[in-house]
Structure 1
Amino acid sequence: MNIRPTLIAATLGIVAASALAAVSEEEAKQIGTTLTEFGAIKAGNADGSIPPYTGGLATPPAGFKPDSGSWSDPFGNDKPLFRIDGKNVDKYAEKLSQGQVAMLKKFPSYYIDVYPSRRTAAYPKKVLDATVRNATVCKTANEGQSIDRACRGGIPFPVPKTGYEVMWNHMLRYQGETAITTSASRSWVIDSSGKPTLTAQQQTLQEFPFYQTELGDRDPDIGYRTYSISQSPARRAGEMTGLTDFIDPVAKPRRAWSYTPGQRRVKLSPEFAYDTPVASMGGVTLFDELFVFSGKMDRFDFKLIGKREMFIQYNGYKNYYDCPTIETALKPQHVNPECERWELHRVWVVEATLKPGQRHVYSKRIYYFDEDLTGAGNYDAFDQSGQLYRVLFQSTAPFYDKLIPFSAKNVIYDLNKGMYAYINDVMVGGYKVLPKALSERELNPEAIVTRETAR
């Protein structure tokens, strides 16, 4: 499928540029006028199917219970505008990825219900102010592999000019300043026979030092950090893993660690990177596919193609909170389409091609990221023969009371093996946003292990 006719590029000034160059003062004037403070087009599209941005959703709906762990669906009364399935997919192919088209044609029971588009992403003022500042001061280094400390506190590149800058925007998208925890995050694998298996239930923490302007004892180069504690299955109970990613991964590579109760010691785990399968997710997803992409960008060339309009999963409150997994969400060949909400949005398109001499299970990947930088989007991966291999969809469900455009839950389909993984399914206890950041001492791997094994 040719995506180029629908690209939007010239009006945004997406031109060939050095990876080291921030935008000019003249280009930066678009921010806050024709562009939002985070670089999205303010206006809606020509036919009104994508609305203008008016500040996002910051008012909780009636009945919302703060700090309950779940967020009420503000659009629960919406009805689908139309449905896309295998019979009419060609009519809408211009606004679909190759992966979406393949899914609709391969599985007659799969469909996409398209709802009214609502641009709900909202950000705190200080994050927006820092993002505007970043437009003219934030730069990349090491051929796009790194960014500098001047970027901290805001989205790095509100007017991205390279694929690397778009990827940094995704990896360092705003998800709060402190940490988000879950008491039970689950991952499922549904095999080719349609049987679901709970591959992991974990307590998790995600921390975002990049947005902590008062660092205290923090390493200023930490961008993102996470750890998990396995609760089930029984054979993995008590295992712990952690990842720390830096804004200069060339100078400071990913710091990964693991702990197993049998060995009773923390050890470094450098294999938790690139195309190593994630055991706790059944091996259906790779470490550099966590949250669509994470880690170092040295094995692929990331090319910015431009923007296009696309159907992506959005405002997925039903998906996150109202579709019990076994009973409702998991079907033999795919997720229950009734649990998914698709909307038309503009997306950044980045094509990643494996560099000569580099090793990876994929030869090419295409990323489609929401222009409002929520983390929602689609992802197609191709094997070494150039055939479509895996397809990933990630939804967003903003924490409207906390101005966090949160995204974490996704599904990845392995078209070669006829199986899929349902990842970051949080139905027990929901999500908690910590009121303040933990200390560096509390986040030390040895401290985490000592604290958790003592419980």
Structure 2
Amino acid sequence: MTHPSLSLLGGALLALLGTVQAQAAPAADLSQLGNRLTPIGAEKAGNADGSIPAWTGGLTQAPTGWSAGHGNPYASDKPLYSIDSRNLAQYLQLLPAGQAALIKAYPGYRLDVYPTRRSCPIPAEVAERTRTFAGQARIGSDGWRLEQAAGAAVPFPIPQNGIEAMWNYKLRYMAKGRRAQISFLLREKNAALSEVRQWAYEYYPYNNAAVKAPGDTDGIEAKLLYDVLSPSSRAGEMYLVHAFLDKVQSSWIYFPGQRRVRQAPSFAYDNPIAGSDNLYFVDQINMFTGALDRYDFKLLGKQEMIVPYNSYKLVDKANKYEQLIGQDYLNRDVQRYEKHRVWVVEATVKADKRHSFAKRVFFFDEDSWSLLHVDMYDAKGNLWRVQEGSLWAAPEIQACTSFEYLSYDLIARRYIADGFTQEGQVLDLTAGQEGRVNDKMFNSNELRRRGER
């Protein structure tokens, strides 16, 4: 039986897919980069009715007093309108199915829609290298491995299929590395707030302009290290992940009680994350993490949609988790939505593979290749989980970035907040350039050394 809160979604999804299929990507004309298109493939022009403005370079200058988590360049903006259960039908074609489901499921859930600000800048080096290497990136014969691509460049600025769009997301520019104190949060059924606080270190070797080919990074896409600070029962746990361009990720876990590092092949795909009450899978980290081998990816085209954007109110360090994390959903006063063009990719599990999510629908921002929203379906075709990302321009790296992520489980009627930085003391986006995050930190011996100190 279909869950009652999902009853209106079939028609809405069909309408969306019909629209995006009509707007499928044109044949790649790379001469358009930097002309009709931005250097990484977005449409420079605004839309017909002016609700999406032209891209003019993004937010390249830091506002007065700016630092990550402090300051909002669009603080004076007021909502144009709000979408809730009363006017949902009017906006269905502009919403992912998951947002419509959340509005239907939870009284009081709403989207405040603000003026569209195309704030995402593009570093000059990334623009130049994307133009230089456009057309040279290559997918392997198995249909998903990345065999050739240059660093600090969007590999497929005019994607011709879904797998190319996925690699644009996975290799999007967010500087060489970053570090932050983040929290993993959920409300218990008794309304108590559960929090796991940890250090997060992320290293992106493919954001380095010295990289000419996959061999220059030993096939590494990204390295992630999570060091648990609290609660006391888990303090000292560490998780290390190596994500690859051509194979399944490798993972290691350090348990302080055992004082040993163990390889963790199960820390991948749809294995539940510890402490999530089975509400969150490993490959939902950062919206999507890991190998692309279990799905077929279909590029449905581009669509104007209402999506989270310029999330400065959300990431502001004046916020406290008790006020942010409501029982059923995130405090609606801190989330900002705008109308943007997004690439839409539908992923379906391959016939010879398995995954708890039989289908996923991804929505990527055209200006940054960030992943803003994911709808996830079970094997019966029912919408099961809904993920929502954050996005904000960081002038110090001349690019947009994301930390805060939400995952709503429509069946369990609970949700997870991941990567929240508001109460953490450190939010450092330039750690990779300045050596505070480097390749030497991300190996099993370092886990052991950190655990024994």
Q: Same fold (TM over 0.5)?
A: yes
Q: Does 1:152 align with 2:154?
A: no
Post-superposition offset of 1:376:
4.2
Cα distance in 2 for partners of 1:450, 1:204 equals: 17
CA deviation profile, 1:385-416 (whole Å, cap 9, x unmatched)? 11110001101122123213111211110010
Partner of 2:7: none
Instruction: Indicate the residue corresponding to 2:273 in structure 1.
Output: 278
Q: Which amino acid aligns with 2:408?
A: Y
Residue 45 of structure 1 corresponds to 47
Q: 2-side partners of 1:142 and 1:272: how far apart?
A: 27
Matches of residues 133-212 of structure 1 in structure 2 within 5 Å?
Answer: 133-177=132-176, 179-182=177-180, 184-192=181-189, 194-198=191-195, 200-212=196-208
The code of the aligned residue for 2:204 comes to: F
**Does the residue aligned with 2:217 lie in a helix, a strand or coil?**
coil
Secondary structure of 2:393's aligned partner: coil
Identity of aligned residues (%): 33
Which among 387, 409, 416 is matched to residue 414 of structure 1? Answer: 409
Q: Aligned AA for 2:35?
A: T
Q: Which moved more, 1:302-311 or 1:149-158?
A: 149-158
CA, structure 1 residues 78+192, in 2 after alignment: closer, same or farther (shift >3 Å)? same
Aligned residue runs from structure 1 range 18-97, under 5 A = 23=28, 27-65=29-67, 69-97=68-96
Give distance in 2, aligned partners of 1:422 and 1:110: 16
Aligned residue type for 1:189: L
Query: Relative to 1, partners in 2 of residues 1:331 and 1:436: Cα closer, same or farther, differing over 3 Å?
Result: same
Q: In the alignment, what sits opposite 1:20?
A: none
In structure 2, relative to structure 1, the CA distance for the partners of 1:240 and 1:218 (3 Å cut) is farther
Instruction: Give, in angstroms, the shift of residue 123 of structure 1.
Output: 2.0
Distance 1:166 1:226 in 2: 22
Q: Which residue of 1 aligns with 2:113?
A: 114
TM-score w.r.t. length of structure 2: 0.91
CA contact (8 A) 2:186 2:193 kept: yes
2:190 and 2:275 map into 1 onto residues whose CA distance is 20
The 1:383–1:137 alpha-carbon spacing in structure 2 relative to 1, beyond 3 Å, is: same
CA 1:160/1:215 → structure 2, altered by over 3 Å: closer, same or farther? closer
State the match for 1:377 in structure 2: 372
Secondary structure (helix, strand or coil) at the match of 2:99 reads: helix
Deviation of 1:5 after TM superposition, in Å, equals: 4.4
CA distance in 2, matches of 1:375, 1:10: 20
Secondary structure in 1 aligned to 2:405?
Answer: strand
Shift of 1:264: 1.3
* Cα separation, 2, equivalents of 1:449 and 1:398: 36
CA offset digits 1:320-362 (Å, max 9, x no partner): 1256243321111111110100000000100111122322111
Residue type of the partner of 1:221?
A: G
* Match among 263, 269, 289 for residue 268 of structure 1: 263
Q: How much has 1:233 moved relative to structure 2?
A: 1.3
Alpha-carbon distance, 1:4 to partner: 3.1
- Pair 1:166–1:323, CA change in 2 (3 A): farther
Q: How many residues align?
A: 434
Q: Which one of 241, 244, 269 corresponds to residue 243 of structure 1?
A: 241
Are 1:393 and 2:388 matched, yes or no? yes
CA contact (8 A) 1:192 1:333 kept: no
Moved more, 400-409 or 200-209: 400-409
Residue type at the aligned position of 2:152 = G
* 1:326 maps to amino acid: Y
Match of 1:233 in 2: 231
State how far apart, in whole Å, the 2-side matches of 1:341 and 1:196 are.
Answer: 24
In structure 1, the residue corresponding to 2:399 is in which secondary structure?
A: coil
Contact 1:316/1:340, CA 8 A, preserved across alignment? yes
Find the counterpart in structure 1 of residue 5 from structure 2.
none
| 3-state SS of paired residue (1:42) | coil
Shift of 1:447: 2.1
- Asked if the contact 2:224/2:442 (under 8 Å) is kept, the reply is no
Q: Counterpart amino acid of 1:239?
A: E
CA gap 1:262/1:312 in 2 versus in 1, 3 angstroms: same
How far apart, in 2, do the equivalents of 1:290 and 1:176 lie? 19
Residue 48 of structure 1, CA deviation: 0.7
- Give 1:378 shift: 1.0
Retained in 1: the 8 A contact 2:120–2:392?
Answer: no
The one-letter code of the counterpart of 2:413 is G
Instruction: Give distance in 2, aligned partners of 1:144 and 1:54.
Output: 35
- 1:46-87 CA-partner distances (Å, limit 9, x unpaired): 01111111011011112225xxx5341101111000000001
How far 1:296 sits from its partner (Å)? 1.1
Q: Please say if residues 130 and 155 of structure 2, whose CA atoms lie closer than 8 Å, have aligned partners that are also in contact.
A: yes
Instruction: Name the amino acid aligned to 1:31.
Output: L
Aligned residue number for residue 100 of structure 1: 99
Aligned partners of 1:121, 1:370: CA distance in 2, in Å?
Answer: 10
| Equivalent residue number for residue 315 of structure 2 | 320
1:118 Cα deviation (Å)? 0.6
CA contact (8 A) 2:139 2:148 kept: no
TM-score, structure 1 as length reference: 0.91
Instruction: Give distance in 1, aligned partners of 2:318 and 2:374.
Output: 23
Question: Are the structure 2 counterparts of residues 421 and 349 from structure 1 closer, same or farther at C-alpha, using a change threshold of 3 Å?
Answer: same
Residue 370 of structure 2 aligns to a residue whose secondary structure is coil
Q: Which runs of 5+ in 2 are unaligned?
A: 1-11
Shift of residue 8, structure 1, vs aligned partner: 7.1
Query: Which one-letter code corresponds to 2:145 in the other structure?
Result: S
Instruction: Look up the equivalent residue of 2:252 and give its one-letter code.
Output: W
RMSD: 2.0
Q: For residues 429 and 202 of structure 1, do their structure 2 counterparts lie closer, same or farther at Cα, with a shift above 3 Å needed? A: same
1:222 corresponding residue in structure 2: 220
CA contact (8 A) 1:189 1:282 kept: no
